[in-house]
């Protein structure tokens, strides 16, 4: 390396800059740790929370109420969620959100009280940034991590990356590392997700971490074809084909699979047009005050959102609204790697949502809670074991950084269609089958070999290259898990196995980079398959 680099250190290193990363940073700093947070983008605008409006699961601690809420959602988790985790995210959200009042302008609840559970993305992330900064967190924006550093004993020692505004490489050592880089939306165009390319999943898997629930990654968000927006205005939409014939689309809530499959079928046949004139009358005059960015793409095209008809598209959400992510092995959000914790969408959300998305409420409560838990646990570990700066640490990134064979440039533009076809292509994702998954596996293995064997980024290019490597890797885990789970369960819908198999009520792990593996978490299932 001839370029200039900087050496950093901290008790706790946090990789990522969305809501989970910020809650983790705040919790770690409040526990007394010296905290360094590195984000690929800007803490405040990075990730899908910044453009969204997360609603946190919110149930008052009244007798029986939380237990009932947990039971109701647990029954919808297809047997893969855990009640104690669900109770925990309700309690943590209830405690944490009001502490944001110094930084976030909470409004009223319409009944004279304060409305805490739902927050608007840009204001929420602005508040979390200020909260973290005041708590003493050092934030480095535009400092993407490219790879993890690992001790000889296999535990995680830090990370290395690139400052994209400074042009400097960086290397950070820490007593504990938290991965909070978000999910992977496979560059679908989903609002806020351009940077959500699964970078953290790849970095962790290269160091040997396991993932869980990657087959639960089939989710889409409806938007105008030209701009992915929030979905609030579309819930009462009517749909038409290009000849103006109304389409018979099942409603969006209560059977998401049927709704998505009906829309996707229509889109595979031709353009689908939406008409929002049936939207609640109460919404029309105040949409702008709730979600200012929702009417914006319409107005700037000269359209009236509630009067004019327009073409729509389904934007893939991958593991962002899907549940898959790094396996969590203990009550402290530790991954299967010692010293590496996971928070938010980079961690599996199966613990609270099982085989479903969990909707907005559980997702945000999970991001907040896993962040706070990981932050506190990482601080405790760093306090106990120190930063171990005397121990050797080696960088373990491979694809795109250290090619396995002779370096030569690879056409990245050819990679993305292969990845997207397998993960968010309507037919391949919503009607999965063994033959389709086998074809996807072969195509993705080819793309992976090409990139991992030959491509080597320099300077700024390394970021884009690693993003592509991460998307291929994530697509391979999704495909392998979907193939292995020989049934339908929740958002994992196999056209060739439409029934749910009671014997497969276990979380499914996957991982590996050059060679992808899968394994059911329940030991008995694993032995039965062996």
Partner 1 sequence: MIAHIFEDRCTACQACVSACPTHVLDAGPDGAPRIARLDQCQTCFLCELHCEADAIYVGPDQRQPEAISPEAILASGHLGRLRHDHGWDREPEPGSTGHLHDFWQLGPLLREGAEIAARRYSERQASDRA
Which residues form the interface with partner 1 (CB under 8 A)? Answer: 40-42, 44-47, 50-51, 53, 55, 105-110, 115, 118-120, 122-123, 141-142, 164-165, 189, 191-195, 226-228, 232-238, 248-254, 278-280, 282-283, 286, 288-293, 296-301
Instruction: Quote the least distance from Cβ 303 to partner 1, whole Å.
Output: 9
Which residue, 41 or 403, is less far from partner 1 as judged by CB?
41
Give the contacts of 261 (CB within 8 A, at least 6 positions apart): 430, 431, 493
In angstroms, the CA 159 to CA 407 distance is 24
Q: What is the smallest separation between the CB atom of 239 and partner 1, expressed in angstroms?
A: 10
Q: Which is nearer to partner 1, 46 or 479 (CB)?
A: 46
Nearest approach, Cβ of residue 324 and partner 1 (Å) = 22
Among the listed residues 20, 15, 93, the one whose alpha carbon sits nearest the alpha carbon of residue 320: 20
Contact, 491 vs 261, CB < 8 A? Answer: no
In whole angstroms, give the CA distance from residue 487 to residue 498: 6
Query: Which of 307/402 has CB closer to partner 1?
Result: 307
Q: How far is the CB of 2 from partner 1 (least distance, A)?
A: 23
- Return the number of the residue (99 or 526) whose C-beta is nearest partner 1: 99
Considering the complex, state which of residue 64 and residue 108 has its C-beta at the smaller distance from partner 1: 108
- Give me the least distance between CB of 112 and partner 1, in Å please: 10
Beta strands in 39-190 (DSSP E): 138-140, 145-151, 156-162, 169-179
Of 11, 8, 9, 16, which Cα lies nearest the Cα of 34?
11
Residues 312-331: b if buried by 16+ CB within 10 A, e if exposed: bbbbbbbbbbbbbbbbbbee
When the beta carbons of 165 and 530 are compared against partner 1, the nearer one is 165
How do beta strands 5-15 and 35-38 pair?
Answer: parallel
Nearest distance, CB of residue 14 and partner 1, angstroms: 17
- Shortest Å, Cβ 501 to partner 1: 30
Q: What pairs with residue 118 in β-bridges?
A: 55
Q: Which is nearer to partner 1, 239 or 341 (CB)?
A: 239
Burial label, 427 (beta-carbon count in 10 A; 0-12, 13-18, 19+)? middle
Give the nearer residue to partner 1 in terms of CB position, either 229 or 319: 229
Which CB, 262 or 495, lies closer to partner 1? 262
The minimum distance between CB 296 and partner 1, in angstroms, equals 6
**Closest approach of Cβ 101 to partner 1, in Å?**
11
**Helix (H/G/I), strand (E/B), else coil: 438:** helix
Distances (CA, A) of 178 to 97, 341, 490: 21, 5, 29
E strand spans, 108-207: 138-140, 145-151, 156-162, 169-179
| Residue 336 neighbours by CB under 8 Å, 6+ apart | 208, 209, 210, 326, 327, 329
Asked if residue 508 lies in contact with residue 525, where contact means CB atoms within 8 angstroms, the answer is no
Minimum distance between the CB of residue 361 and partner 1, rounded to whole angstroms?
9
CA angle 310–315–319, rounded 5-degree value: 160
Query: Pairing state of beta strands 5-15 and 211-212?
Result: unpaired
For the bound state, the minimum distance from the C-beta of residue 347 to partner 1, rounded and expressed in Å, comes to 21
Residue 13: CB atoms within 10 A of its CB come to: 31
Shorter beta-carbon distance to partner 1: residue 175 or 400: 400
User: Buried b / exposed e across 125-164, counting CB within 10 Å, b at 16+?
Assistant: bbbbbbbbbeeebebbbbbbbbbbbbbeeebbbbbbbbbb
- Nearer Cβ to partner 1, position 253 or 502? 253
Sign of the torsion angle spanned by Cα atoms 497, 501, 503, 509: positive
């Amino acid at each position: 390396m001839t370029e200039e680099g900087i050496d950093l250190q901290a008790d706790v290193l946090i990789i990522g800059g969305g809501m989970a990363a910020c809650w983790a940073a705040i919790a770690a700093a409040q526990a007394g740790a010296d905290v360094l947070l590195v984000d690929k983008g800007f803490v405040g605008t990075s990730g899908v929370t910044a453009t969204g409006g997360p609603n946190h699961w919110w149930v008052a601690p009244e007798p029986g109420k939380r237990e009932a809420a947990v039971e109701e959602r647990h029954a919808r988790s297809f047997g893969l969620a855990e009640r104690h985790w669900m109770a925990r995210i309700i309690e943590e959200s209830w405690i944490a959100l009001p502490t944001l009042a110094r930084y976030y302008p909470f409004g009223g609840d319409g009944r004279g009280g304060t409305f805490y559970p739902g927050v608007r993305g840009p204001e929420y992330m602005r508040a979390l940034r200020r909260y973290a900064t005041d708590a003493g967190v050092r934030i480095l924006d535009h400092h993407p991590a490219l790879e993890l550093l690992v001790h000889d004993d296999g535990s995680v020692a830090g990370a290395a990356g690139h400052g994209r505004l400074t042009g400097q490489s960086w290397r950070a050592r820490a007593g504990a590392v938290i991965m909070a880089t978000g999910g992977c939306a496979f560059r679908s165009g989903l609002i806020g997700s351009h940077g959500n390319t699964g970078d953290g999943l790849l970095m962790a898997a290269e160091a040997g971490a396991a993932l869980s629930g990657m087959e639960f990654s089939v989710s889409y968000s409806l938007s105008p074809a030209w701009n992915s927006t929030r979905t609030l205005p579309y819930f009462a939409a009517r749909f038409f084909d290009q000849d103006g014939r109304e389409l018979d689309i099942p409603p969006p809530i209560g059977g998401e699979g049927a709704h998505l499959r009906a829309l996707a079928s229509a889109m595979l046949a031709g353009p689908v047009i939406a008409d929002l004139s049936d939207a609640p009358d109460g919404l029309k005059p105040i949409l702008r005050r709730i979600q200012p960015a929702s009417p914006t793409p319409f107005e700037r095209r000269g359209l009236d959102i509630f009067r004019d008809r327009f073409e729509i598209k389904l934007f893939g959400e991958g593991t962002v609204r899907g549940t898959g992510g790094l396996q969590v092995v203990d009550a402290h959000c530790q991954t299967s790697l010692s010293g590496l914790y996971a928070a938010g969408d980079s961690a599996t959300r199966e613990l609270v949502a099982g085989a479903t998305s969990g909707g907005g409420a559980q997702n945000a409560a999970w991001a907040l809670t896993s962040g706070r838990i990981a932050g506190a646990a990482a601080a405790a570990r760093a306090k106990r074991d120190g930063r171990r700066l005397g121990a050797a640490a080696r960088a373990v990134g491979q694809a795109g950084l250290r090619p396995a064979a002779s370096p030569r440039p690879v056409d990245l533009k050819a990679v993305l269609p292969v990845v997207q076809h397998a993960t968010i292509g309507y037919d391949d994702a919503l009607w999965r089958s063994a033959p389709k998954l086998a074809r996807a596996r072969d195509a993705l293995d080819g793309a992976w070999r090409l990139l991992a064997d030959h491509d080597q980024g320099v300077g700024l290019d390394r970021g884009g290259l690693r993003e592509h490597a991460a998307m291929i890797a994530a697509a391979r885990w999704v495909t392998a898990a979907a193939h292995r789970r020989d049934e339908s369960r929740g958002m994992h819908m196999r056209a060739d196995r439409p029934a749910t198999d009671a014997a497969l009520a276990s979380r499914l792990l996957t991982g590996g980079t050059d060679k992808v593996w899968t394994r059911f978490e329940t030991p008995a299932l694993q032995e039965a398959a062996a």
